[in-house]
């Protein structure tokens, strides 16, 4: 009788230990090991040089923008990304693009860097409705970028992840202030 009582206690301890282990693994699986793609966004954008014409026959814009790009890594491991590209588009046509140089966002941190990007209406096939748009005083551009890389966890595990930028920039043509909105 005494022996079987010890066995029961031993089994109960073993069961409790197994349950504890499973709980720890589940908690790890849903927190530390859960690997998410980075969030790629635009920070402050400033206008460096600027020339526009809303001449009715040939409206145009030429601007050099300095844009802060942020790569937010919510994972518990570093995110290392390779070279990428970023582009700005007006009405679906790319009017400026630039290379994003490879880098790293540390664990649960945000990497920030500035890019200089020249945009020009010379790249538009048609400027038919550009004049009307510019007369409204605000030029809206779409910012696109893709960052691809790997999240490294517990020093050995690597998971491929990527993030895309989906932002809109509104350039106030009178004040040259730029407001950005990102998804």
Ligand X SMILES: *[C@@H]1O[C@H](CO)[C@@H](O)[C@H](O)[C@H]1NC(C)=O
Applying CB under 6 A, which residues contact ligand X?
A: 46, 66, 68, 82-83, 91-92, 99, 101-102, 112-114, 128-130, 133
- Tokens standing for residue 78: 């570093």
User: From the CB of 15, what's the least distance to ligand X, in Å?
Assistant: 52
User: From the CB of 124, what's the least distance to ligand X, in Å?
Assistant: 8
- Tokens standing for residue 44: 């402050």
- Tokens standing for residue 151: 């999240």
User: From the CB of 111, what's the least distance to ligand X, in Å?
Assistant: 9
> Do residues 71 and 178 lie in contact, with contact meaning Cβ atoms separated by under 8 Å?
no
Nearer to ligand X among residue 64 and residue 159 (C-beta) = 64
Calpha distance 167→144 (Å, rounded): 7
Cα 40 from chain centroid (whole Å): 1
The DSSP 8-state label assigned to residue 154 in this structure reads T
Nearest to 68 by CA among 47, 89, 44: 44
Q: Are strands 103-105 and 39-53 parallel, antiparallel or unpaired?
A: unpaired
Nearest to 169 by CA among 109, 84, 96: 96
- Tokens standing for residue 7: 């066995």
Nearer to ligand X among residue 13 and residue 114 (C-beta) = 114
Nearer to ligand X among residue 34 and residue 48 (C-beta) = 48
Return the bridge partners of 167, or none. 143, 182
User: From the CB of 160, what's the least distance to ligand X, in Å?
Assistant: 15
User: From the CB of 164, what's the least distance to ligand X, in Å?
Assistant: 19
Nearer to ligand X among residue 11 and residue 48 (C-beta) = 48
Nearer to ligand X among residue 33 and residue 66 (C-beta) = 66
């Amino acid at each position: 009788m005494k022996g079987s009582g010890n066995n029961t206690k031993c089994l109960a301890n073993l069961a409790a230990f197994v349950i504890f282990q499973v709980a720890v693994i589940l908690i790890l699986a849903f927190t530390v090991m859960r690997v998410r793609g980075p969030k790629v966004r635009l920070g402050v954008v400033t206008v460096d040089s600027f020339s526009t014409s809303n001449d009715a026959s040939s409206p145009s814009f030429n601007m050099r923008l300095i844009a802060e790009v942020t790569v937010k890594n919510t994972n518990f491991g570093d995110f290392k990304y390779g070279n990428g590209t970023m582009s700005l588009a007006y009405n679906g046509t790319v009017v400026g693009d630039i290379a994003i140089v490879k880098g790293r966002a540390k664990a649960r941190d945000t990497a920030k860097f500035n890019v200089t990007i020249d945009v020009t209406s010379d790249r538009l096939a048609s400027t038919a409705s550009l004049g009307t748009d510019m007369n409204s005083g605000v030029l809206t551009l779409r910012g696109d970028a893709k960052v691809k890389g790997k999240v490294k966890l517990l020093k050995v595990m690597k998971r491929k992840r990527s993030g895309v930028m989906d932002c809109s920039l509104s350039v106030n043509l009178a004040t040259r202030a730029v407001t950005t909105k990102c998804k």
